[in-house]
Amino acid sequence: MLPRLRHRKTRRRLISDSRGFSSIVGAIFAVLVMFSLISTVFVWSLSQNTLYNNTVRQSNQADLDRSSEKVQVLNTTYNAYSNGNVTVSAQIQNTGPSSVQFITVWLYVSNTTWTNYNFSKLTNATVQGGNVFPLNVNLTISGLNSTANYNIASWLITARGNVVALQKTTLTTNIVISQTTQGIGALMMDFQNFTYYNVTGSFGSYSLNPYPNGASGYFVTNSGGPKGQIAFRVIFTDLDQNQRAIVLGSGSELFIIYPFPGGAYQCDVWYVVNVNTAGQILNAYTPVTLVYNVPTAVYFAAKSRGNPNSVGGTSTTGISPVNLALVGQIGGSPFGQNIPFVSIEVAS
């Protein structure tokens, strides 16, 4: 009975003593505050750790995406003018599996006493894996004149942050003329990208295969037999010194001549046609306009002038020289140019 009586007295004393009761309440409150702070810090630490892991994961993925971009630069050409303009042209081939978006091109021009640079933002400059992007830009470089020689370099910046260097050059003249190694006249042909296709389908719905890449036009496998239907693609650049546009008429043609013993010859011809983005030959011909200093793909498939549905083929096999007979208008005046450019071998 004595311990129980002592406990009652102690409890009665604590209840009646307001200071003792307040101490207990304060201690409990302090414990709750400390627990709340610790819980808050713990939750905050977890969230920060999650954010850090997500950031590291995104950074690693960005590095992987950036390293997956594979680009090859072909045929870089620079032309400078006395008004300070510099044109940059190149063929950019995406050799990797991922698409590449180019967002900016930079140009750096210098000589022994002077340097300057400029840049331009690019739009619609996304190239899918395996495809070729034709780069054509015009930049103004303040201080450039027509009497000095220049060292020129340029770079492309991708959306993932890669820097693609274009070929450097030393520009020794600022007069733009057709390059005699690429054809005589106002039009220049891209020899490295001469392409042929097999033509499939029926009247009114012909298609080029495989489109858009095709195969090298220097060795043609006529898989359809001696009369198999094929088409050719030639990339032209208008380098008219007066910078006039060239319009190709329906009579523009690509033809090959097979020489035979005894002076006999066999000729095959393909007239110019229009092709849509899916590789289909359009049923009516619209004149192709070649804008100054812009590489443009031109297709030859019809066996009769102005009739895209009459798809041509090869009448025999063997080795033959190839010629381009191009007609139309330049700046509103009559235009004509012949380019004897390659030899090909046709096999059945």
Nearest Cα to 163, choosing from 96, 112, 100? 100
For 36-45, what is each residue's pLDDT tens digit?
Answer: 777 777 677 7
Nearest Cα to 320, choosing from 271, 260, 262? 260
Out of 13-27, 115-129, 169-183, least confident range:
169-183
The pairing of strands 333-347 and 219-221 is parallel
| Beta carbons within 8 Å of 149's beta carbon, 6+ residues apart | 111, 170, 171, 172
Out of 58-62, 277-281, 288-292, least confident range:
58-62
- pLDDT tier, 3 (very low <50, low <70, confident <90, very high otherwise): low
Average pLDDT for the chain = 79
d(CA 137, CA 144): 17
- pLDDT tier, 274 (very low <50, low <70, confident <90, very high otherwise): very high
pLDDT value at position 48? 75
pLDDT value at position 19? 58
86 has pLDDT over 50: yes
d(CA 298, CA 275): 9
| Beta carbons within 8 Å of 252's beta carbon, 6+ residues apart | 271, 272, 298, 300, 324, 325, 326, 327, 328
Which of the given ranges, 21-30, 152-161, 173-182, 200-209, has the highest pLDDT on average? 152-161
- pLDDT tier, 300 (very low <50, low <70, confident <90, very high otherwise): very high
In the predicted model, what is the mean pLDDT of residues 99-120?
Answer: 89
In the predicted model, what is the mean pLDDT of residues 300-325?
Answer: 83
pLDDT value at position 221? 80
The better pLDDT of the pair 139, 60 is held by 139
Taken in order 14, 18, 23, 26, is the CA torsion positive or negative?
Answer: positive
Percent of the chain topping pLDDT 70: 78
pLDDT value at position 174? 44
The better pLDDT of the pair 101, 56 is held by 101
Residues in the chain: 348
For 225-271, what is each residue's pLDDT tens digit?
Answer: 445 688 899 998 888 877 789 999 999 999 888 877 776 677 888 99
d(CA 79, CA 42): 64
17 has pLDDT over 70: no
For 65-74, what is each residue's pLDDT tens digit?
Answer: 566 788 888 8
pLDDT value at position 181? 40
Q: What is the pTM of this model?
A: 0.51
d(CA 123, CA 136): 12
> The tokens 């007979």 sit on which residue?
325
